[in-house]
Amino acid sequence: MVKSTSKEAHALFHSLRSAYAATPTNLKIIDLYVVFSVFTALIQVVYMAIVGSFPFNSFLSGVLSCIGTAVLAVCLRIQVNKENKEFKDLPPERAFADFVLCNLVLHLVIMNFLG
Amino acid sequence: MAASETSNGTALRYAFGNVLSFFILLLIGVLAFSIRLFSVIKYESVIHEFDPYFNYRVTQYLTKNGIYDFWNWFDDRTWYPLGRVIGGTVYPGLTLTAGTLYWILNSLNIPLSVETVCVFTAPIFSAFASWATYLLTKEVKGAGAGLTAAVLLAMVPSYISRSVAGSYDNEAVAIFALIFTFFLYIKTLNTGSLFYATLNAIAYFYMVCSWGGYTFIINLIPMHVLLCIVTGRYSSRLYIAYAPLVVLGTLLASLVPVVGFNAVLTSEHFGSFLVFIIIHVVALVYYIKGILSPKMFKVAVTLVLSIGLVVCCAVIAVLVALVASSPTKGWSGRSLSLLDPTYASKYIPIIASVSEHQPPTWPSYFMDINVLAFLVPAGIIACFSPLSDASSFVVLYIVTSVYFSGVMVRLMLVLAPAACIMSGIALSASFDVFTRSIKFQLPGVKGNSQVDAGDTSSEGVVAQNEVAKTDKNEEALKERPSKKNRKKEKEHVEKPFVKAQIKKRLLVLPFEASIIAILLLILLGAFYVVHSVWAAAEAYSAPSIVLTSYSHDGLHVFDDFREAYSWLSHNTEVDDKVASWWDYGYQTTAMANRTVIVDNNTWNNTHIATVGTAMSSPEKAAWEIFDSLDVKYVLVVFGGLVGYPSDDINKFLWMVRIGGGVFPHIKEPDYLRDGQYRIDSQATPTMLNCLMYKLSYYRFVETDGKAFDRVRRTEIGKKHFKLTHFEEVFTTHHWMVRIYKLKPQKNRIRGKAKKSRSKASSTTSTKRSETQRKNPWH
């Protein structure tokens, strides 16, 4: 039972990797960016758990800025993905402009909130 | 050739329709603005009621001292001796809006006073709100429904009651912000554009700035997202509409000082975070489903879902632990009383004492939304055919707001836009059906032509429907009214159009029936208009600061409040403290510019209970309490002479309850005879000797010789009495406001001195001096 599950998991892992290898490079870069910002958020949470959350607004803005960047990057990835039928007539330039605008607003707020 | 001609005609019709709907919208704005001016015409351009006076005072401060001083404003004129940090405890949206308006107008050399700008802020924003309703409903069901909903919202009585000229309160701008936020959410959901998502977050920020009701948004949108996920309607547009809103919205909300860290720490917001996590899990599942073969996906589902469930369970466990550790389970009193309607009356008399926090009665539904109450169910049905993401949101909105309006009268205001949208959809859909049936049966008119029976009618609603018709015919073909589909569909519109017409021919109603139905609908609309105008003119325009009454000898104007406040501002020292029940706190600070003990911002229950205790104590104890608070003057509102029902005697039981909640020696049964509240000869001695009774009825017998109270419709219990520790300094023309001054302490010292002297003398003199000490005036 356990063997079959691990075998299946292995097969799944394999097929996931092969499927992911087919994604275009620009999407892969975005993915890397998302992973990086989530990782940064995790580091901050761990730091908060060890040291404490005293300037709570700083902690909050740090974590939310990372999560926000990740979320926005995911949105961008959804929009520029060629396989996504829903966004066929949305040019990638427009998607990127929206992404930049949203990031601007996000980081303006973060800078205000950082204290 | 023929095809190009038809497309030309369609384009022309589109252009014509757009221009027409633009002018209709303009007229709707004018209507929304001008229907709210009855209060200015009938009374004058004044700020209404209680809270608006505070907002007006804050706006004055803002325009005089600038934004930085406003944020740091510590107000020492209220809650004496505690004071209040205004900048950190007020929703600044309304004030900043009016301040900006004032600043713009003055920089354009239009010299309007702050008061004028404040008075007209609400009507202006109600015009904006009806435009926002048009946009929202257009996203849901097309332009025809949008225009109808906008007309309905422009004159829905429930909203008028909160936004007549002069009612300068948070709700005035908040309803616009609420509808506009919902519109942008739906727009993002329909287009999947990150640009609209950003705008949505900013609109949400404006809503957070304006009103505490923003928690409704941050709970309703997650509920809708959850609904979409559960019913299998998840799409990447949903992700784009929701995920950035949570992150940006939370950050923006914590920028508002009054919300601050509450945006991440209280349970009202936890629902959105939970859904935020859920939508990420779901998005991941959909993504993996997309890149894997179905067989592999089945394997993956078990793995991913089990991991996701474990994560969710862990998060829920942490949240529950966090929530359970706080005493009120993290919910503030007002929100708790929304979920459990009996909560407030059980635990917080200060919330229960406000009449607008009571559950509404059935007639108030008819009064406030009138015929919309009957149209709403039809609108819900119309929303289900076909059900889109947007229409399911509107359905969810009306269902939740109906519940909330059933808990608190005040939240009828949240129901009103939902009811308007639903009724707009219903009316527009039924007009659509009836006019189409007429169109197909009119002799000599082909289904394709533009001539229509309804077109000749001058009734506005019908005309709007015609505008929408072109839009709607095509919209009906689509699964979802999203923008990106629209371009594509336009090219292929001719072919399915014919097919759809054949289908529509089968849905045709009898000619006479549809004509009668249209007439009845117009009659219904006319009834609504008449009712709304009546409500705006008669029921909701009274400023409550100036009262009028009609009697056989003409119109009477009672301007006692302003008389009393201006007496205070002219005849007392600047630093004198005035005690009154909290209802009149804002007005006293704003109009008389005197320091008050408690005001309508009921943030400190103990302080209010102290004043309540003083009012329900006998004279001497009350004098001591007031003296310890540095009070110089006591102000009571008395309606017994002219029959003004919301006076202090009618509010008195709440003073007893709130006072007794903190100081247990005040007991409510002491003031009631057999559970009945009465002030006639049957009243209890505690009642007849308490300060509020004495201050209200002092010298009242001199007015008509019988001391007949016209509010309670009875003769009062104790007619002839004198005050020992207070002296009457001012009573207004109609006795509605009575101001008393605390007598200085000198009298008591004399009594004490006599007592100490008498100790040496005989017992008879001791007895005499004892009686003297009890009442130094006899």
Token look-up 């404490």 returns A52
Q: Which residues 63-92 on chain A approach chain B with CB closer than 8 angstroms?
A: 64, 67-68, 71-72, 74-76, 78-79, 83-84, 86-90
What's the start-to-end Cα distance of chain A, in Å?
55
Whether a cis peptide bond, with omega within 30° of 0, leads into A91 is no
Query: Cα torsion for B757, B760, B762, B765, to the nearest 10°?
Result: 10
CB contact under 8 A, B291 and A68: no
| Any B CB within 8 A of A38 CB | no
| Any B CB within 8 A of A45 CB | no
Q: Which residues 264-283 on chain B approach chain A with CB closer than 8 angstroms?
A: 264, 283
B359 CB-side CA count, 13 A:
15
pLDDT of residue B28: 93
Q: Helix (H, G, I), strand (E, B), or coil: what is residue B33?
A: helix
Question: β-strand B547-551 against B554-558: which pairing, if any?
Answer: antiparallel
Burial of A57 (0-12, 13-18, 19+ CB in 10 A): middle
Low pLDDT (below 50) residues in chain B? 1-2, 446-496, 756-778
Question: How much is the ipTM here?
Answer: 0.92
**Who among A23, A78, A110 is closest to B251 (CB)?**
A110
Using an 8 Å CB-CB cutoff, list chain B residues near A106. 247-248, 251
CA dist B526 and B528 (Å) reads 5
Sheet (strand B595-596) strand order: B595-596, B577-579, B631-637, B737-742, B726-731
CB B17 within 8 A of CB B470: yes
Using an 8 Å CB-CB cutoff, list chain B residues near A102. 194-195, 197-198, 244, 248
| Any A CB within 8 A of B292 CB | yes
pLDDT of residue A70: 93
Neighbours of B394 (CB within 10 A): 25
Amino acid at B743: K
**What count of CB pairs under 8 Å joins A to B?**
108
CB contact under 8 A, B261 and A112: no
pLDDT of residue B117: 92
CB contact under 8 A, A105 and B299: no
Residue A82: both structure tokens together = 């060629």
Question: β-strand B631-637 against B577-579: which pairing, if any?
Answer: parallel
Cα Rg, chain A, nearest whole Å: 18
Write out the DSSP string of B658-701: HHHHHSTT--GGGG-BTTB---STTS-HHHHHBHHHHHHHTTTH
CA dist B611 and B614 (Å) reads 5
The alpha-carbon gap from A38 to the nearest alpha carbon of chain B, in Å, equals 13
Question: What are the residues whose beta carbons fall under 8 Å from the beta carbon of B127, sequence distance 6 or more?
Answer: B28, B29, B30, B32, B33, B154
Closest CA to B198 of B149, B249, B157: B249
The alpha-carbon gap from A36 to the nearest alpha carbon of chain B, in Å, equals 17
Residue B715: both structure tokens together = 């003769």
Query: Cα torsion for B510, B511, B512, B513, to the nearest 10°?
Result: 40
Q: Which of A32-41, A105-114, B159-168, B460-469 has the lowest mean pLDDT?
A: B460-469
Question: β-strand B595-596 against B577-579: which pairing, if any?
Answer: parallel
| Any A CB within 8 A of B291 CB | yes
Amino acid at B753: A
Write out the DSSP string of B540-587: S---SSSEEEEETTEEEEE-HHHHHHHHHHHHS-TT-EEE--GGGHHH
pLDDT of residue B507: 66
Write down the H helix ranges in B43-92: 51-71, 86-89
CB contact under 8 A, B237 and A88: no
pLDDT of residue B769: 41
pLDDT of residue B188: 92
CA dist B769 and B752 (Å) reads 9
CA dist B32 and B122 (Å) reads 10
Express each pLDDT in B326-352 by its tens digit: 655 556 666 666 666 666 556 666 666
Amino acid at B186: I
Residue B63: both structure tokens together = 């325009």
Q: Give the CA distances from residue B396 to residues B166, B408, B557, in Å, rounded to whole numbers and listed in that order.
A: 33, 19, 46
CB B461 within 8 A of CB B27: no
Residue B259: both structure tokens together = 């919300």
Q: Helix (H, G, I), strand (E, B), or coil: what is residue B154?
A: helix
